[in-house]
Amino acid sequence: MDRIARVWGHYALNSRGHPTLRVVVETESGAKGYGLAPSGASTGTREAVEKRDGGERWLGRGVSTVLALLESEVAPRLVGMRPDRQREVDSLLVALDGTPNKSRLGANLTTATSIAVARAGAASVGVELFKHLGGAKSKLVPTPLLNIINGGVHAGNDLSIQEFLIIPVGADSILEALRISVEVYWSLRAILKDKYGPQAVNVGDEGGFAPPLRATREALDLLVEAVRTAGYSPGSDVLLGLDAAASQFYDEKERVYSVDGKNLTAEELLEYYESLVDEYPIVYIEDPFWEDDWEMFSMITKRLGDRVLIVGDDLYTTNVRYLRKGIDNRATNAALVKVNQIGTVSETIDFVWEAHWHGMRAIVSHRSGDTEDPFIADLSVALETGLIKTGAPARGERTSKYNRLIEIWEILDSPKYAASSPFSRRTVG
């Protein structure tokens, strides 16, 4: 029976050039696992707390405090535990932290540690990570949602909507899906360059282009044109999605949403989404309203939920407590899943199970400040979510996930690509 023998951590950099931490777990048998914590920019207020040093070094974002906590408090307790008992390890992390939002140890510390233990556990028993995470029978490789136009706080342009996603459903393998996506990405690049000049092809935080656009429809028209130019059919080969991240453009004092240069009431915004869904092949809208507007979430799910996945990200922050509120209110029919929003792998798995149990879709997601750690690729296959959101098909921290999905496809006996199945007619959450 293998045991954890050593746990240590060190500084690493994320895709924004901010520091993060990398935790390594080694077992008595010599099995090793690592984990890196990602980092959000448009974070929800209910998220588990990322702990940073403050002060001037690293612009206040150093992780020396959490590395010290790892060494003094966490590592000594993990030594001697079984690396394949993820739940025991994660329960210990939750108990050691002792707060509702991981603010004492830091969710960056618990996330990196929890992922490192999962990898060490898989290595220790000699199975692939996705199988170790509870997916021994899973053959479902998720359909990616690729953010190829970046706006909101992820880009230096005037687009209010944060993410414009393409969803390659007209494929029968992950590689074909990525081929389609890459062809659309490059056709969009050519169109942008042609229409707006070479500066329009600079990219935002998630590897999508950040052209100088102002209007949501302008971006959607460009996506449709890019899909067509690449030789595919919008609505059948490639579907579209939006992450509004509406908390970022909501004015709490004035109670208005500032979209495309106009101030809209919540009701007007709902009308606006409905018109977009009528005009474009949109099947996915994430965070359409700010994170406390439960009523409007319920309204849009009632209105559009039979043809669109209405997704809670900032609304739930991967926390079962808020998910249950969403289930009671029929607030959404889908939920975004980010390990570092809650801080451990086991709590993340519980969240996905709870969503699935209530007929909600779960979408495993990266963060805008991510790393080369492909953990979420394994997680999405293990939990059979059928959907993953991990940026453009470009930039190493994004492609590491896609490349791992291709590798998993090769490892699996008879893999199945989720394609359009997650979007088949929905009932309300």
Instruction: Indicate which residues carry an active-site annotation.
Output: 206, 338
Which of 26, 313, 370, 373 is close enough to bind Zn ion by CB under 5 A? 313
For the chain, report the end-to-end CA distance as a whole number of angstroms. 43
Which of 47, 128, 243, 291 is close enough to bind Zn ion by CB under 5 A? 243
Q: Quick one: what does residue 365 bind among ligand PGA, Zn ion, none, with the CB cut-off 5 to 8 Å set by partner type? A: ligand PGA
Q: Shortest gap between Cβ of 149 and ligand PGA (angstroms)?
A: 14
Q: Which stretch, 139-147, 167-175, 278-286, 327-335, contacts Zn ion (CB under 5 A)?
A: 278-286
Give the DSSP H or E segment for 335.
strand 334-337
Distances (CA, A) of 251 to 19, 79, 159, 263, 264: 31, 48, 16, 9, 10
Cβ nearer to ligand PGA, comparing 183 with 205: 205
Cβ nearer to Zn ion, comparing 171 with 336: 336
Q: Quick one: what does residue 182 bind among ligand PGA, Zn ion, none, with the CB cut-off 5 to 8 Å set by partner type? A: none
Residue 291 within binding range of Zn ion, rule CB under 5 A: no
Q: Shortest gap between Cβ of 164 and ligand PGA (angstroms)?
A: 12
Nearest to 66 by CA among 401, 373, 343: 343
Q: Shortest gap between Cβ of 286 and Zn ion (angstroms)?
A: 5
Cβ nearer to ligand PGA, comparing 89 with 335: 335
Give the DSSP H or E segment for 310.
strand 309-312
How many residues of this chain bind Zn ion (CB under 5 A)? 3
Q: In what order do the strands lie in the sheet with 256-259?
A: 250-251, 256-259, 262-264
**Where does this chain bind ligand PGA (CB under 6 A)?**
40-43, 243, 245, 313, 365, 367-368
Could you tell me the two tokens for 198?
């070479």
Q: Which stretch, 144-152, 241-249, 259-267, 384-392, contacts Zn ion (CB under 5 A)?
A: 241-249
Cβ nearer to Zn ion, comparing 291 with 378: 291
Query: Exposed, middle or buried, 69 (CB in 10 Å: 0-12/13-18/19+)?
Result: buried
Q: Quick one: what does residue 352 bind among ligand PGA, Zn ion, none, with the CB cut-off 5 to 8 Å set by partner type? A: none
Cβ nearer to ligand PGA, comparing 86 with 247: 247
CB-based contact 211:149 (threshold 8 Å): yes
Residue 206 within binding range of Zn ion, rule CB under 5 A: no
Q: Quick one: what does residue 291 bind among ligand PGA, Zn ion, none, with the CB cut-off 5 to 8 Å set by partner type? A: none
Could you tell me the two tokens for 424?
């088949």
Sign of CA dihedral 414, 307, 205, 43: negative
**What is the rounded CA–CA span in Å between residue 188 and residue 147?**
12
Q: Where are the beta strands (DSSP E) in 114-252?
A: 140-141, 143-150, 163-168, 238-243, 250-251
Q: Which residues bind Zn ion (CB under 5 A)?
A: 243, 286, 313
